[in-house]
Amino acid sequence: MLRGATHNMSVRLGLITGRIKNDVCDGGYELHESYRAMAVANGIDPDDPVLWPCRQ
């Protein structure tokens, strides 16, 4: 929710209808720029084929 969810149609509709509240916080943790960056920071090889479909 804190990174990149605004492009997701289900999330957008949930926010509009009130089903999802916009009250999520990071809890003081540093967030990665993307799923790919988080995976690499956690030890996944940047060239691993599992990351090919991930956005940069």
Q: Residue 6: what pLDDT?
A: 74
In a domain, 12, yes or no: yes
For 41, the domain range is 5-22+30-47
What pLDDT is attached to residue 46?
94
**3-state class (DSSP) for residue 30:** coil
For residues 37 and 30, is the Cβ–Cβ distance under 8 A?
no
In total, how many domains does the chain have?
Answer: 1
Residue 18 in any domain: the answer is: yes
What's residue 17's pLDDT?
A: 95
Whole-model pTM: value is 0.55
Low-confidence ranges of the chain (pLDDT < 70): 56
* Whole-number pLDDT of residue 13: 93
Task: Report how far apart, in Å, the C-alpha atoms of 26 and of each of 1, 6, 22, 29, 54 are.
Answer: 10, 16, 12, 6, 22
